[in-house]
Amino acid sequence: MKKKYIVKESKLFEKIMKEGKCKKNQSYVVYSLKNDLPYNKYGISVSKKLGNAVFRNKYKRKIRAIVDNCKKNYNISKDYIIILRKGAINKSFSELEKDFSQLI
């Protein structure tokens, strides 16, 4: 995933979470908000409560791979914030991918 497709600014994170639509399942919480760009932007969050830095980075890489695999299914011109939940910890990659595609 290229840097221009990533949401990093905390103000933009907060705006998407306040104004955007929220969808949840056992593995994820996904907020989405329309933007004025010709492409989607993604922000990924994994809480410190779930594990240490190595664990969080591992799951962020998994989520980025899932996003790259499922790009065809998304609406264009949206910002997404993807938050990992505790229910996703014991799931396999294919189960995580299935859960994510159901939300999108």
**Coil, strand, or helix at residue 61?**
helix
CA distances to 14, 62, 69, 98 from 1, in Å: 22, 12, 11, 20
Q: Which residue has the higher pLDDT, 57 or 5?
A: 57
Provide mean pLDDT across the span 45-70.
91
Provide mean pLDDT across the span 9-26.
90
Domains and CATH numbers, the chain: 3-96 (3.30.230.10)
**For residue 59, which of 89, 30, 79 has the smallest C-alpha distance?**
89
Q: Which amino acid, residue 70?
A: C
Provide mean pLDDT across the span 42-52.
91
